[in-house]
């Protein structure tokens, strides 16, 4: 569950749950760095409980840019943040590709 591309140790777990016949993803995460724990909390707020299609439709750079995070994070932290976003998107793509997720 470790996220690659982060300088700090970061772990993300995705848990699919079917609600009203539609899969939704819920995430848990942790890090050894306090600031990264905060970034994980922001991402969980953004993505938790959404369908794979909803997750894939989110413009993470736009949303996180509106929060002003780019101005306050080092390049390494920004890379780590977008590695976490990439992992969340990959989990959503994987779930969306499963036949039961597509309603087959």
CA-closest candidate to residue 91, choices 47, 38, 40 = 47
75 CA to centre of own chain: 19
- Catalytic residue, chosen from 6, 39, 43, 60, is 6
Scan for tokens 């995070």, then name that residue. 69
Active site residue 6: yes
Active site residues: 6
């Amino acid at each position: 569950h470790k996220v690659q591309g982060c300088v700090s140790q970061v772990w993300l777990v995705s848990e699919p749950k079917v609600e009203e016949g539609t899969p939704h993803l819920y995430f848990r995460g942790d890090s050894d760095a306090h600031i990264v724990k905060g970034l994980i909390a922001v991402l969980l707020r953004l993505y938790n409980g959404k369908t794979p299609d909803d997750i894939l439709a989110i413009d993470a750079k736009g949303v996180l840019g509106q929060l002003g995070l780019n101005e306050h994070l080092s390049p390494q932290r920004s890379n780590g943040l977008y590695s976490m976003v990439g992992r969340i998107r990959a989990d959503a793509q994987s779930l969306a590709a499963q036949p039961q997720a597509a309603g087959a």
